[in-house]
Structures are given as structure tokens and as C-alpha cells.
Structure 1
Amino acid sequence: CGPALSYLGHSNVMKVVLEGSGFSESQLKSLERNFYTTSSCGVCGKSSIDALKTQNKFTTYLNRQSGPTVSKKVLIALPDTLRKAQAVFESTGGLHASGLFSAEGELLSLREDVGRHNALDKVIGDAFLRRQLPLENVVLMLSGRISFELVQKASMAGIRFIAAVGAPSSLAVELAKETDMTLVGFLRGDNFNVYSGDWRLK
């Protein structure tokens, strides 16, 4: 065992490194985000965003120019398209959904779950199994609000455009701006707010 991880604020945690694992001390700092990236997190801040940047394999591949360009007409139609495709929600009224759309508004993939995060995990996992990552040319449509974790997951999958019927958290907006993502919230009827990446709207 090594020394306690006191600088992480977890003095009762010991690190165990297996011989020949190739693990280095320099990698330890990048693991900080695993301790406090939670839905209730109010202190994640810059450390979480910086850690995400260093861990994202698509960071250098994607840039400000990558991602779909979407018209307002297509954008405002996404919530209804997502809702009509939610078969389980139709019978229960209690599920969230995540959907992937083309820039023309075609529904490519949809998954439902009681939890918002699980629904997104499912839709990204399906794309991963189909070897479709990175998902830089799709629009991610969410049925609820936008937390930091949802933007984080989307970024790790290479998604450049997120829209949702609910509100984003301040940290979600900060992460979207830092990673040049388009973030649209309160997408209801003909109205919506653009928090970052307005150049992908036409």
C-alpha cells in the first residue's frame, strides 16, 4: 500500500498498485473526478472540467467546426418526435428518454429509463456496440433537465449538440462552453434558450 490520499480529502483511503500495472503517480490526479462528480455536486468546478478534458480521447479530434448544423424548424420538432416514440412512457408516464437525431430531424436511436443518466448511458452504449463513436454528427435530445453529468457523458461520446426540454445547471453550461458544444435548454413549442454553440443553428 501507498500513503493515504490526504490531498483528495480522503485520509482514510489507501491506494494499492499492483506490480507491473504500469500505473504512475502522475495519473493519480486525473482520478480526482471519480470522487465527486455527482448530481448533488456543488464543488466540482474547474477540476472536474479539466479532468474531463484530459481523459476524453476525442478532445483533439473534435473542434469548434465539428458537429451538425441544425435549423430552427428541425430543432423545435425534436421534443414531439421524441415523445411520440416513447412507447413505455405512453403506458406509464414515468420514464425519461434520450434520443439521437440526424441534423435533418430523423430519429436514429432512442432509449428510455426511470433515470435520466441511465437513458443516456443506454443510447450511448448502443452506439458504442454499433461502433458509431464518436457521435459528432448527431443531435442528442433529452426529455428532462441537463445536469453536468449528462454533458460529461455526451462529451465523452463525441456529441457536439445537446437539446433538452428542461433547464441546464450552471456547471453544465460551463462545461458545454469549455468544450465548444452547442447546448439548448427549455425547448418547448417554438421557444428555446441557447447557452453555448449558437453557430450550429441556422
Structure 2
Amino acid sequence: MGRASDRRTVVRIDGGGSTSTRRTDTLAAEEPLEIRVRPKPLAVTMRTPGDDLDLAIGFLLTEGIIGGADDVVTAQLCAGAETPNTYNVVDVVLAADVPPPATDPTRNFYTTSSCGVCGKASIDAVRTRSRFDVADDPVTVAAGVLAGLPDRLRAAQRVFDRTGGLHAAGLFTAGGDLVAIREDVGRHNAVDKVIGWAVRERRLPLAGHLLLVSGRASFELTQKAWMAGLPILAAVSAPSTLAADLAAEAGMTLVGFLRGATMNVYSRAERVKP
């Protein structure tokens, strides 16, 4: 099974080139993961190895292929045919009453570590509607609690400490308690890993919770949060226009630029209390 990080030899140059030394550096691992919905391959994503079953299940949920844990009979990590010693394939068997995913046979999903919707064959295929109504979720969160969450997320990032190269997604209660955290080179993968964990723990919908992401709030991350029934999405960086529009449509609270005691609330600001 792949490791989340690995060592490489580098030449460290200091002083504008005046000195150079050879040293070892720890890098975040990036490897392909193929998700198969038996019997067909469905998607390949570039990810950091670890929590791969969570990633696969979260991906299926956020793409609208499954609605919960009961839709999955088995999910197992297995070796690929070409590289039998590396476990870079997740094989999923869906329940008999779950429709198989509709895919373009000439173009399966392919996502890089920086793009969660790159493999979609049409604009219409990008949007997937959630079965959960987050607009009526009565949850509120104190602004002071939100302000402290980035430090809590950062303190829990074990692999980031070694590599400096991973995104994180953290699931929190409205009181600021960390429920689950996942790291990955891809923002969308980290979110899928958290949501997949919640699916397997039968916690959906994630009413009364909030999701914090270490980067920006993009459209695909907002959509994934909505698919899991999350009423609040917070990001340490900027949201996009599509993310703000989707959050407003869904009735989700979207917080951006969450840094220190300041933040911008782009939709449903009444959930953030002084």
C-alpha cells in the first residue's frame, strides 16, 4: 500500500547561490487511484494514498451515484493488474436496486489533484442536486468559534507537518469540536475522504455540522458539501462566484477568508453569531 509521503534527495541552495548542500526532503505522495463500480472502471483520480475507501465512497456520494451506506454492498482496495504490488484500485459493488452510473464510454471520469470536475463530458453533467435540504437547518455558530478553527485544523494535519504540501478538510460541530479530518494533495479528495467517512459511519446528513477547507472554496467543494447535507462551508481563502451562487441557491452558509478574527460571509450570514 502506498505511503502518504516519501523522501527525496535535493540540493539546497542558500544565499542567492553562495552555498549549496545535499539533503533529504519529505514530499507528499501523489499516485493514481482507479475507482471501479463493478464491473466497469468509473474514475481515476490523483490522490495521496490513505483513506482510499473513504475517498471512493465519498466520490460516489458527491457524484450522486449513491445516497448512503445502504447503497454499497462491498468496497475493497485491491492491486491493479499492471502494478500488482501497489494497491491503487478500489472495487465497489452497488446494491441491486441502485442504478449503475451512466458514463460516456469514450470518456470516463478523470480528475487531477487540483480539479474535481475535470472528467465531466458536458456542462450539464457538472451539477448534481442534493437530496438533503440544508436551507432549513437551524444551526448557528459563534464567530469566535469559527475564528479558532483554522488553527485547530492545522494542528491536526500530521502529514502536512512533514511535507508542507497537503490540503485538509475538517468536519466540526457547531461548538468547534473536530469530528474528522483528512489530508490529500487534492482539495476535492480531502473533502471526499471526510464525506466518505461520514457515509460509512452512517452520519448523513451532516446537519448541525460545518466543513472547513484549507484552501479556497470552489464550486465543486460547495457542491460536495451540499451533497452531504452540510449547512456551513468555511474556507481560509477565497470563494469563487459559482461557489457563492450555489451556496445561496442551496441555502448554505459560505464563509471565506477565515483568517484570525476576520472573515467574509457570502450567504446565509444569520447563522454566524457574534
The Cα offsets for residues 16-39 of structure 1, whole Å up to 9 and x where unpaired, read as xxxxx9x8xxx9xxxxxx89x836
For the aligned residue pairs, the C-alpha RMSD in angstroms reads 2.7
Query: For residue 52 of structure 1, what is the aligned residue in structure 2?
Result: 128
CA distance in 2, matches of 1:39, 1:153: 15
Q: How does 1:42-121 map to 2 (within 5 A)?
A: 44=123, 51-53=127-129, 56-58=130-132, 62-121=133-192
Query: For residue 128 of structure 1, what is the aligned residue in structure 2?
Result: 199
Contact 1:103 1:139 in 2 (8 A): yes
Larger strand proportion, structure 1 or 2? 2
The TM-score normalised by the length of structure 2 is: 0.55
- The residue type equivalent to 2:146 in the other structure is L
- What 5-or-longer segments of structure 2 have no aligned partner? 1-96, 103-108, 111-115
Larger helix proportion, structure 1 or 2? 1
Tell me, yes or no, if structure 1 residue 38 matches structure 2 residue 112: no
**SS of structure 1 residue aligned to 2:135:** coil
Say if 1:40 and 1:164 are closer, same or farther in 2 by CA, change over 3 A: farther
Contact 2:135 2:231 in 1 (8 A): no
Query: For residue 74 of structure 2, what is the aligned residue in structure 1?
Result: none
Displacement of 1:197 after TM fit? 1.0
Query: For residue 17 of structure 1, what is the aligned residue in structure 2?
Result: none
Query: For residue 140 of structure 1, what is the aligned residue in structure 2?
Result: 211
- The residue type equivalent to 1:38 in the other structure is V
Tell me, yes or no, if structure 1 residue 191 matches structure 2 residue 270: no
CA distance in 2, matches of 1:125, 1:142: 16
CA distance in 2, matches of 1:68, 1:39: 33
Say if 1:130 and 1:170 are closer, same or farther in 2 by CA, change over 3 A: same
Contact 2:213 2:236 in 1 (8 A): yes
Displacement of 1:136 after TM fit? 1.5
CA distance in 2, matches of 1:40, 1:145: 20
- Give the length in aligned residue pairs: 164
The Cα offsets for residues 58-94 of structure 1, whole Å up to 9 and x where unpaired, read as 2xxx253305200011010000000001011011100
Tell me, yes or no, if structure 1 residue 166 matches structure 2 residue 245: no
- What 5-or-longer segments of structure 1 have no aligned partner? 1-20, 28-33
Say if 1:67 and 1:163 are closer, same or farther in 2 by CA, change over 3 A: farther
CA distance in 1, matches of 2:232, 2:266: 11
Moved >4 Å (runs of 4+) = none
**SS of structure 1 residue aligned to 2:141:** coil
**SS of structure 2 residue aligned to 1:183:** strand
Query: For residue 5 of structure 1, what is the aligned residue in structure 2?
Result: none
**SS of structure 1 residue aligned to 2:170:** strand
**SS of structure 2 residue aligned to 1:52:** coil
CA distance in 2, matches of 1:108, 1:83: 14
Q: Which has the larger radius of gyration?
A: 2
Matched-pair identity in %? 52
Displacement of 1:167 after TM fit? 0.6
